[in-house]
Structure 1
């Protein structure tokens, strides 16, 4: 049994061949790195074709989290899965622009429903 590290994990839910990740509140650096590893492992070991990352519960995205989101999308793309970032608040979008983060490889959607539509087989 591993000792408790004091950091909770972000749940990664499988909905058919799509992974759904819902970020809530502040995501500490260690949790963001663990999430990146978890998503990559799930894509590599299953038939995942898409990843939806819901950030509607996130108030602030710093440069580290922005980089981690871009790396998740890049890794997913290399593993033949697409990534959609859903629920970005206007303040978060403004902050990303101010930081100069373009998040290459990430498609955005206003909400999770629209993100799921973008990843549906009819949209590929």
Structure 2
């Protein structure tokens, strides 16, 4: 398997792009598949040493309370394994639903799309400083 090869989680591909795992969720995600994905992401972080996880949910029409909880658990597990999680592509209806369900999703960062999520992870990579970078002492 190549460095960019997919790790398949019960029909959910997990792609490694350098130091980031990219997971694209589309359509309905069964509870057992979501739980297996959670385990596969944790195992892949441990075995590969990636520092970021991007979960693209732009293909999801609905995110229920179970999937919202799974996303929060993935973020918490990833943080314990020294990786940051960003959810990308959340539709307005999904955001409204999550707020109405009272899900706060601690530790989970969001971005409008996958490209913005990758940029967010690059900006906050270990060793980098948040905020504007200076060219040197003044």
TM-score (norm 1): 0.91
Partner of 1:3: none
Q: 1:11 aligns with which of 10, 13, 21?
A: 13
Q: 1:36 and 2:38 equivalent?
A: yes
Runs (5+) with no aligned partner, structure 2:
1-8, 126-138
CA distance in structure 1 between the partners assigned to 2:49 and 2:106 by the alignment = 23
Partner of 1:123: 124
CA distance in structure 2 between the partners assigned to 1:8 and 1:79 by the alignment = 22
Shift of 1:8: 3.8
Please give the residue correspondences for 1:1-124 in structure 2 after superposition, counting only pairs within 5 Å: 8-120=10-122, 122-124=123-125
2:69 is paired with a residue of what secondary structure?
A: helix
| Structure that is richer in helix per residue | 1
CA distance in structure 2 between the partners assigned to 1:75 and 1:93 by the alignment = 22
Higher relative contact order (CA 8 A, sep 6+): 1
Q: CA RMSD in A?
A: 1.2
Is the contact between residue 9 and residue 34 of structure 1 (CA under 8 Å) also seen in structure 2?
no
Aligned residue pairs, count: 117
Shift of 1:9: 2.3
CA distance in structure 2 between the partners assigned to 1:69 and 1:48 by the alignment = 18
Structure 1 moving runs of 4+ over 4 Å: none
Is the contact between residue 52 and residue 84 of structure 1 (CA under 8 Å) also seen in structure 2?
yes
Shift of 1:46: 1.1
Q: Greater Rg, structure 1 or structure 2?
A: 2
TM-score (norm 2): 0.82
